[in-house]
Structure 1
Amino acid sequence: MASRSEFDGVDYMDYPDWYIDEPTDPPRDVVTPCQPTIRVDSYHICAAGISFVVLVFLSFFVKRRRLCRSFCNAVPGLLHPVGFLEHDYHRGIAAAVFGVLFCSLCVVVLDDHPLPFITESTKETAEYWKSMALLYYPALYYPLLACATVKSKVGYLLGSFLSWLHCGVLVWQKVECPLSSKFYKYYSLLRSSPQLLCLAFLSLVYPVLLVRNVETSGNLSLRQCLADNYYTDYLKILLRKKPSRNSASTEQPSLSSRIGTLIRSYIYLPVEGFRIPTKLVVSLTVAIISVYQVALLLVVHVVPTLQKMRDGVREEISYVLEGFGINLSENRTEVLHIVKYYFWIIEVCYVSAVGVSCFVTLSTLMRSMVLHRGNLQALHRGDAQKVFNCKKRIRPSRSAVVCWMRFTSYQIAHVCLGLLIQQLVFLTCFLLFAVLIVVPIIYKQNMIIFKIVEDVWPFWLTLILVMLIQHILARLLFLQKDGKHLSITNRRSLYIFTYLLFTFNVLIGVIAGVWRVVFTALYNIVHFCRLDLGLINRGVELFDPGYHNYINFLVVEVSQSHPVMKAFCFLLLHSRGSEMSSSDEGKNVEEGRILLVPSQKFTKTARSKQARTRWWLMFTLLNNPSLISSRRSTVCSPTDAVTNGELNCSSKHSKDELDKSDLCETE
């Protein structure tokens, strides 16, 4: 054995691996940097140039005279991406492009290099590059929408080329480099899945539209019919004779029918003659993508960390717990298993909370789509009282236009924030339930909650009995049935029990107050992502920015894209051509064209049908919110009261007053 003097003068710090006996395992999940054949910066430089060339070509291809005859002497101009207030644009393309744009927003927010052209940036300049990236990605995907706006073979051909370019390059990059070192090795691939699906959808839709355009290019009337048939179909269904309701069913619905009605109220099913606006379709699509992106980020950012912590627990954890006064067991091995078991419980509760949050958010979004349809149908009828709970003129304003512009963005932001809040609340509830109830029942240890309940059960039993006694007395002693109505009797006994049970009702009121706070918080958290629902009292619900944005969005949608108004204008534009052409006589039997050909002779049945149709059309146009702003002052407003079938119009005797204000004012 070597003596101590042999090691004198030796610097022990020269041996970095002094404990050579312990095996050093290489770290897992280490991803080596990968550079695809088509570099990201080179691809974006080429794609941005191609997109700019395509947009300029489309601007010169589509003459400005076709869009606005009196603007800049008919010079070419920038094409609008999609007609949000029209129903003759492809809503699937708009939803897919907005989905791709939101995935790009996730890249801008989370990546260290948000602008693909700039690969090296400091912390001081990173925020400036993020601001530029927020404008770059919308400009990059702008031509994908503009190609659909043109509605021609050239536009669909260029749209096919751009969608194939973006989709092909993205697939090539993910196949070559599927792993990433950010959060989780497969996070980049999973994050790009919605973007790949949207680009694949565009790659299929544009060729289909190109083939259809080639087939219908020689038939102009067919193309016009495909563009305007929604409005005419809506008018026909609206003027259709409703079935008479002679007798109403007095039978109570069964439990199964109630459950079926509840489930159907959360499932949006298309109905005949109504089409959801484009902006709502885009909002729902991007909201679903945002749920996926946020849930993916929550899972890959926390679950792998919990798994590493569980695998890294050693027997020395018992000393750490004893330092905090926690003694789980005398056996260190048993303590190790208990700690790992609790880590597993946390992981299960976390994943369950994320899953429940996603389910609740998607359910509320589907429920909101059903209510969107109901609100739009009510406003199309002019029933603003049902939607807004107050008398409100449906006219566009500055704030309404601003709210309409940012409605989709507000919806996505509320969905992301609501999902995060729900996840935290559900995780807390699941952990408390698992740690305080489930685990003590399984191991029959640390039964703190059960001991508390055992100590205070007489108090809770007393409160429950008091509540039951009050309900039994109210049913058997204090109420008496006189015919079909109930009346209060035995008032002296009622006064006596009210006085005697006062102290118990105070305690019950405290419990009810706590439940009110908990229920209100849970209700608002669950419905946080719904903009169509005010989360505060009706008197001050306009202070809710989400609900305020929603009602202004409805005002713009109804006032600018009312299907009855557009159907009426479409019939007026085509009435002259139908009168002059003899080949269209067979089409004049339609209800809309009967209104525009008064010189023909009809039978008694046809005349009654014409009178009924004219009356319905007059009533519909009178209550059309889209025509209120352009109506002459001699026509009453649809919001006026109706008495005995006559509109109450206040007459003005001065001609100057007629020019300044309407004859019918809304109270």
Structure 2
Amino acid sequence: MMESATTSRLLVNANETTQSTADTCMKSIRMDLFVHVSLIPAVLITVLLSYVQRRASLLKTTDKLPLSKKFGIVVPVNFISSYSNRWSFGAACGATATTVFLLFFNEYSNYFNFTAPPWAKALVYLLSALEVAMDYYPFFACLSTENRILGSSLGFCYAVCWFCVQLADMFECQKITQASTILLLTPVPSLVCCLFLIGRFLHILVKTMLALRRPEEKQEHEEPLLPKHLTHYLNYLLKGFPEIDSKRCWLKQKIYTFDPSFKFPTRMIVTAVLCLICLYNFFLVDLFVSPKAVKGLEHWALITINLSYENRTIWVLNLLKDSWFYATFPAAFTSVIYILHLLSCYRKQMKKLYKGTSDISRQSKPPVILAASIRYTGNQIAYLLWGYFLLHILFFLISLMITFWFIIPIQEGRGIIILQGLGYTVLGIVIMVGVIVIQILASQFFFLQDKINPKDKSKPLAINNRRAFQNFSYFFMFYSAILGFGACLIRIMLNVFLGSWLLARIDRPLFPRGYEGADMGYSTWIGMLLVDFHHTNPVALSFCHLLLHDLSTSKQLKSTDALHDCKKKQRKIKWHLAYTLINNPVLILSRKQHNCSSSSLSLRQQMLERIRICAVHSHFHKQTLALADNDTEASTTESLGEGNQI
């Protein structure tokens, strides 16, 4: 025993020494210094793109500084209402994924050469996050700028620099071992996204140069106010939605159904890409750190425990290591399913908001909703990683329960005892469920009155045989106390299980009804949905599109009487507004002057119901008038026919 313990300790010390010698390799590329130095070209590129960006209006400083509408604000990415170039922005965010993942582990805050006091740690985290955001700002700005030649040229050079430095840093001082292979695979998705960006910038540059040489070819224009898929949605509103093909495979219907009237915005594509790459990195880190943690635990156990329990301890540690390893894969698979299901929930909720059938609460104030939408992408990544970690622990505990309760006793020849205990447990559950079923059947056949109409689906909630019902309730009152104790334990376990299982899904609240506002993740989801709905509503966008179209046509066809045209235009706009609100009364709740306070929500709901009733009455009145006109025309034709016969 003593010899085996000393040999195991020597092996542990040898592994530590080899690892320490491997870690002493001095790299020629310091990524911390490169992150700091990258701020200089990033700021220069941003200033240059801002110089060529034209401002829409003059500022007060224009008289003092001869800017002439230059130095406009560069928009890196439109998260709300952008549907073009989505995968390029997704690749740009994918290039930042490894860096964003390192922010969770306080990696970049260590690059600042000063020791911050505890109260200033949050400011250091904010400073490091802003520095990383500024480093990757040229990727997005070069994609979204209107000057395609300058943006694609600068973006191509900047992306090539980042790709070469990260590639050199990845392969330097790496020996081919299992641990080094995992470390080599970590930045691969970001490098692939960076390579995609290089190709995308080169494609934009070549395409723009060819368009300059051939003026007859159409160049890329600004994204329209009313995208094409929303025009399809409006056509479906007017002509009816197409029927779902029942001959399609059931699996295809459940997985994904293509809808030409819906497109995911850039924000959702970016969020999905970042979540997948960060989950991939977390998965690799889990595979890399877990064996080291088990070795450290084994080293500590061999030092502290009695030598007579050494073999048993090593056996238990091996079981823990195997259970943790095999629990990694279902946790990662479930997290990937959550990301895909998140996109499905977004499409479903947005369609309900468009139709006005959503039950989402709109009582929060607009500043709170807008601030929540800003936090959405970052919160979704953090919730997904925490959800993966809890899922990993949950599957680990389930595997341990199966191992210690079933597999090991069966291997040791105690399978009959396990089956006996399992049978007693199942029998108790069957008796408990049987009592509940008996109560339901007794209520159905003895304690409820008969159906009023034989065509009714269920009996009315009216008690029959009241004395028997009172005795039945009295005798089962004492058993219900025991039953409630077991049901309470089941409720606690289900809450813990479902809370851990659904932590990554912020599309549904974890708190009970009435306390949804305390769930910050769900609040960010609701804020993001409401902001997207208010800025991508097809009916509202089509209304604005018609107004802008009328404005542009009226500028082309100016009349002599400007005042008359102005009044006519105002009457036309008011008529369009009234017609749109009467046919779409849900938009009244989204109008600007009605969205300022949450106290008038009940009044707005009453106003909405009144307008709906008035719209129905007016429609019915039009139909009755049309029928009356048809009757009068028929009577006049009959009288004229009789007069001609006379």
2:510 is aligned to 535
Distance 2:552 2:210 in 1: 25
Q: What's the CA shift for 1:523? A: 1.7
Change (3 A) 1:49 1:225: closer
Q: What's the CA shift for 1:541? A: 1.3
Match of residue 51, structure 1, among 34, 39, 42: 42
Distance 2:100 2:57 in 1: 34
Equivalent AA in structure 2 for residue 519 of structure 1: L
Change (3 A) 1:632 1:515: closer
Match of residue 155, structure 2, among 153, 159, 174: 159
Match of residue 317, structure 2, among 343, 348, 372: 343
Equivalent AA in structure 2 for residue 287 of structure 1: C
Equivalent AA in structure 1 for residue 454 of structure 2: G
Contact 2:82 2:266 (8 Å CA) reproduced: yes
Within 5 Å, give how 1:41-440 maps onto structure 2: 43-44=34-35, 47-64=38-55, 67-70=56-59, 72-73=61-62, 74-110=69-105, 114=109, 132-151=127-146, 152-178=148-174, 184-214=179-209, 222-223=218-219, 227-228=223-224, 231-240=227-236, 241-243=238-240, 260=250, 264=253, 267=255, 270-306=258-294, 319-321=307-309, 336=311, 340-381=314-355, 383=356, 386-388=358-360, 390=361, 392=362, 397-440=366-409
2:454 is aligned to 483
Change (3 A) 1:71 1:436: farther
Contact 2:335 2:384 (8 Å CA) reproduced: yes
Change (3 A) 1:230 1:180: farther
Higher relative contact order structure (alpha carbons within 8 Å, sequence separation ≥ 6): 2
2:636 is aligned to none
1:371-409 superposed Cα distances (whole Å, 9 cap, x missing partner): 21122222233x2x6231x5x379x72212211211111
If the length of structure 1 is used for normalisation, what is the TM-score? Answer: 0.71
1:641 is aligned to 609
Secondary structure of the corresponding residue to residue 349 of structure 2: helix
1:526 is aligned to 501
Task: Select the structure that is richer in helix.
Answer: 2
1:590 is aligned to none
Aligned residue-pair number: 568
2:521 is aligned to 546
Within 5 Å, give how 1:457-536 maps onto structure 2: 462-463=431-432, 465-467=434-436, 469-470=438-439, 473=442, 483-485=454-456, 486-487=458-459, 493-536=468-511
Equivalent AA in structure 2 for residue 61 of structure 1: V
- Which segments of 5 or more consecutive residues in structure 2 lack a partner in the other structure? 1-5, 63-68, 558-568, 597-602, 618-646
Change (3 A) 1:270 1:581: farther
Change (3 A) 1:49 1:283: same
Secondary structure of the corresponding residue to residue 533 of structure 1: coil
Distance 2:387 2:12 in 1: 44
Distance 2:60 2:359 in 1: 39
Q: What's the CA shift for 1:179? A: 5.4
Distance 1:212 1:570 in 2: 30
Match of residue 565, structure 1, among 540, 544, 547: 540
Change (3 A) 1:497 1:614: same
Contact 1:89 1:149 (8 Å CA) reproduced: no
- Which segments of 5 or more consecutive residues in structure 1 lack a partner in the other structure? 1-17, 322-334, 583-595, 600-612, 650-667
Contact 2:75 2:141 (8 Å CA) reproduced: yes
Distance 1:458 1:109 in 2: 48
Cα-Cα RMSD? 4.7
Change (3 A) 1:222 1:623: farther
Q: What's the CA shift for 1:203? A: 1.9
Distance 1:274 1:206 in 2: 28
Distance 1:517 1:632 in 2: 40
Distance 2:377 2:592 in 1: 26
1:663 is aligned to none
Contact 2:354 2:533 (8 Å CA) reproduced: yes
Change (3 A) 1:560 1:115: same
Contact 1:565 1:621 (8 Å CA) reproduced: no
Q: Percent identity?
A: 18
Distance 1:245 1:566 in 2: 22
Change (3 A) 1:368 1:200: same
Contact 1:560 1:626 (8 Å CA) reproduced: no
